[in-house]
Amino acid sequence: MALRLCPSFSHPLIASSVSVGNTSRIRRCSIRNCILEPNESRKLVLEVKEKLEKEYPSLPLGRNGRDDDDMILWFLKDRRFSVEEAVSKLSKAIKWRQEFGVSELSEENVKAVAQTGKAYVHDFPDVDGRPVLVVVGSKHVPLEFDPSDDEKLCVFLLEKALSRLPTGKEQIIGIVDLRGFRTENADLKFLTFLVKFCSAESVRKEYFTPETLPASFGD
């Protein structure tokens, strides 16, 4: 048995679904897909930038910083284009990234945990073009590593998957392989998402082609 995390992970952080908006400024709005007219979009992004600069001047700049247009627009969508709510959530997210040291994570400093094979970013996207994060439940032993090491691996792999998002895509998909899962592998701390349970056969047929299927899900 495998399970697909649902809703899918979304850029730039794991987040809830975007609610359907109801405002004249929105040209088209559906779950996770709210679009403004270009001029309105740029105006709101600028408003958020200015508020962040005024209220949180110590936050870093650059990619995933307070002046990152793409990140700001994503949070605006997530907050149904509320500037105040976007600023509040975005400032917290940037602070968390800074305190956790996300930008300092590398293959080398998560190497020991990664070598267990408990989680990895698959080489190929799913049939919808989404990057795929695979977690192998039977290889996760909570007492084997310090919880902080597992957290670093989790964040590093999410960042790696998100970095592979093609233009126009905002979701990655997480697949947790529960085959061979035992009580000693249980760690509910890392399973805080809604899930869709499915068989390995469903994973093969619904999310991949024979050429892109993860090796562990082969016949």
Q: What is the pLDDT of residues 28-86, one digit of tens each?
A: 333 344 566 778 889 999 999 999 999 999 999 999 999 999 999 999 998 999 999 99
Q: Which range marks the domain in which residue 146 is found?
A: 2-10+109-217
> For 87, what's the count of Cα atoms within 13 Å in the CB-facing half-sphere?
17
pLDDT of the residue at 24 = 28
The pLDDT tens digits of the residues spanning 128-179 come to: 999 999 999 899 988 889 989 999 999 999 999 999 999 878 889 999 888 8
Among the candidates 46, 76, 102, a domain finishes at 102
pLDDT of the residue at 198 = 82
- The yes-or-no verdict on residue 92 having pLDDT over 80 is yes
pLDDT of the residue at 188 = 62
The pLDDT tens digits of the residues spanning 189-204 come to: 655 556 678 888 989 9
Q: What gap in Å lies between CA 48 and CA 81, rounded to an integer?
A: 10
**CATH number of the domain bearing residue 65:** 1.10.8
- For 8-17, 48-57, 210-219, which range has the lowest pLDDT when averaged over its residues? 8-17
- The yes-or-no verdict on residue 99 having pLDDT over 50 is yes
Strands annotated E in the chain: 2-5, 9-10, 26-30, 33-36, 119-121, 132-136, 171-177, 195-198
What is the three-class DSSP state of 186? coil
Among the candidates 102, 133, 167, a domain finishes at 102
Q: What gap in Å lies between CA 138 and CA 133, rounded to an integer?
A: 16
Predicted confidence band at 20 (pLDDT cuts at 50, 70, 90)? Answer: very low
pLDDT of the residue at 66 = 95
pLDDT of the residue at 34 = 56
Among the candidates 86, 102, 118, a domain finishes at 102
Residue 15 domain-assigned (yes or no): no
Same domain, 115 and 63: no
Residue 17 domain-assigned (yes or no): no
pLDDT of the residue at 81 = 92
Predicted confidence band at 23 (pLDDT cuts at 50, 70, 90)? Answer: very low
Residue 16 domain-assigned (yes or no): no
What total number of domains does the chain contain?
2
Its pTM stands at 0.78
pLDDT of the residue at 7 = 39
Two tokens at 117? Answer: 């094979």
pLDDT of the residue at 110 = 96
Q: DSSP of 131-179, one letter per residue?
A: -EEEEEGGG--TTTS-HHHHHHHHHHHHHHHHTTPPTT--EEEEEEE-T
pLDDT of the residue at 35 = 60
Same domain, 124 and 204: yes
pLDDT of the residue at 152 = 95
